[in-house]
């Protein structure tokens, strides 16, 4: 197992370098000038010499390869560079935003898993019933409806029409920091994000359970007098979770760095909002660091998924 982990880590190194290089090239191809995005209206009328000096200060006049190597040197020293806006360390910006994003992602993931797995198991046990058909239609609808549409509809219904939940933010401006106020602000973004995730969990769980229920060891367990709950959960669901763990592992990094739409709609101060603001402001170092952070999360999640699958099913170790 240790040799397998080391091989995966060796393969990950050149992949990360390639991702960083491609990211640098794509960022350089973005329309707009980061220097002018930083300038105030008064500075916009400044002389071209001022703009050129600012570009030189930020290192934007250097070739892409030189900028890339400079960023790699910073990374080797444990730094992620500095934001163009105020020269704030990028690691500090990510550290400030990762907490709200992790909270939102984990709550949404927990809701989606509980609902999706429960519906998928029941749909498999009642195959071809009205519940099974309803679950299939609902899961397809959850996958098909865009998250931004669900978010806007949720705000319109629950915030504007009913007035029972806030439109966005992490907490109210007049809040005393109470847990209840934070939960009220979390309900809509977490619910909408969970709704966009639950569809695949229902379908994977249902399909996995249908395949497992036909296996010989399930018949043997029932023949030995194992209670139905023990057969379904102890034998069936455990084997169904093996492919599901891979799906979750691939989605989790995307949740932490790719909830941009949800965070923008609900003004949630997380990594997604940071990425959006950085793209609008042409803050290249923040964009590059976020891409690198995402790539590392994806690779770590894939490795953990493989290890967890080996724990759930010892046959995989062979």
Q: Counting beta carbons within 10 angstroms of the beta carbon of residue 73, is it exposed (0 to 12), middle (13 to 18) or buried (19 or more)?
A: exposed
CATH code for position 261: 1.10.3720.10
- Contact status, residue 167 vs residue 79, Cβ threshold 8 Å: no
Choose the weakest-confidence range: 112-116, 179-183, 219-223, 265-269: 219-223
| Mean pLDDT of the 24-40 span | 75
Is 198 or 316 the better-scoring residue by pLDDT? 198
CA separation for the pair 21, 170 (Å, rounded): 35
Tell me the residue range of the domain where 153 lies: 101-282+293-317
Is 271 or 86 the better-scoring residue by pLDDT? 271
The number of CA neighbours under 13 Å toward the Cβ of 193 is: 32
pTM, entire model: 0.78
Q: Which pLDDT score is estimated for 253? A: 67
- Contact status, residue 243 vs residue 249, Cβ threshold 8 Å: no
284-288: which pairs have CB atoms within 8 A and are 24 or more residues apart?
284/27, 284/34, 284/84, 285/71, 285/80, 285/81, 285/82, 285/83, 285/84, 285/90, 286/83, 286/90, 286/93, 287/23, 287/27, 288/20, 288/23, 288/24, 288/27, 288/71, 288/81
How confident is residue 1, by pLDDT bands cut at 50, 70 and 90? low
- Contact status, residue 301 vs residue 252, Cβ threshold 8 Å: yes
Check whether 174 has a pLDDT greater than 70. no
| Mean pLDDT of the 40-69 span | 72
- Contact status, residue 259 vs residue 312, Cβ threshold 8 Å: no
Q: Is residue 132 part of a domain?
A: yes
pLDDT by residue (tens digit) across 176-208?
A: 667 777 788 888 999 998 888 888 888 888 887
Q: Which pLDDT score is estimated for 224? A: 63
- Contact status, residue 131 vs residue 122, Cβ threshold 8 Å: yes
Q: Is residue 89 part of a domain?
A: no
pLDDT by residue (tens digit) across 89-118?
A: 888 888 888 888 888 888 998 999 899 888
Q: Considering its fold, how many domains does the chain have in total?
A: 1
Q: Which residue do the tokens 């992949």 mark?
A: 15
Contacts of 128 (CB under 8 A, 6+ apart): none
Q: Is residue 71 part of a domain?
A: no
Q: Is residue 10 part of a domain?
A: no
Q: Is residue 90 part of a domain?
A: no
Q: Is residue 303 part of a domain?
A: yes
Q: Which pLDDT score is estimated for 296? A: 82
CA separation for the pair 91, 286 (Å, rounded): 9
Q: Which residues of 161-177 are buried (b: 16+ CB within 10 A; e: fewer)?
A: eeeebbebebbeeeeee
Q: Which pLDDT score is estimated for 111? A: 92
């Amino acid at each position: 197992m240790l040799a397998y982990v080391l091989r995966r880590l060796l393969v990950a190194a050149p992949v990360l370098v390639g991702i960083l290089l491609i990211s640098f090239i794509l960022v350089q191809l973005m329309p707009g000038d980061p220097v002018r995005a930083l300038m105030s209206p008064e500075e916009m009328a400044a002389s071209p010499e001022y703009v050129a000096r600012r570009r030189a200060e930020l290192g934007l006049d250097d070739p892409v390869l030189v900028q890339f190597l400079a960023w790699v040197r910073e990374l080797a020293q444990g730094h992620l560079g500095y934001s163009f806006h105020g020269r704030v360390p990028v690691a500090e910006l990510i550290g400030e935003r990762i907490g709200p994003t992790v909270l939102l992602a984990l709550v949404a993931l927990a809701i989606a898993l509980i609902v999706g797995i429960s519906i998928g198991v029941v749909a498999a046990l009642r195959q071809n019933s009205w519940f099974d058909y309803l679950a299939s239609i609902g899961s397809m609808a959850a996958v098909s409806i865009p998250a931004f549409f669900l978010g806007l509809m949720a705000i319109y219904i629950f915030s504007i029409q009913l007035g029972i939940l806030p439109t966005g933010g992490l907490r109210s401006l007049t809040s005393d920091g109470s847990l209840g106020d934070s939960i009220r602000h979390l309900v809509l973004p977490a619910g909408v994000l969970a709704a966009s995730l639950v569809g695949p969990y229902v379908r994977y769980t249902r399909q996995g359970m249908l395949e497992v229920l036909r296996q010989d060891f399930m018949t043997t367990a029932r023949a030995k007098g194992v209670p139905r709950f023990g057969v379904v959960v102890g034998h069936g669901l455990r084997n169904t979770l093996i492919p599901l763990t891979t799906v979750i592992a691939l989605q989790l990094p995307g949740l932490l760095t790719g909830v941009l739409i949800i965070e923008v709609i609900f003004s949630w101060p997380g990594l997604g909002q940071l990425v959006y603001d950085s793209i609008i402001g042409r803050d290249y170092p923040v964009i590059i660091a976020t891409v690198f952070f995402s790539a590392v999360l994806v690779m770590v999640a894939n490795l953990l998924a493989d290890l967890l699958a080996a724990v759930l099913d010892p046959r995989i170790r062979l």
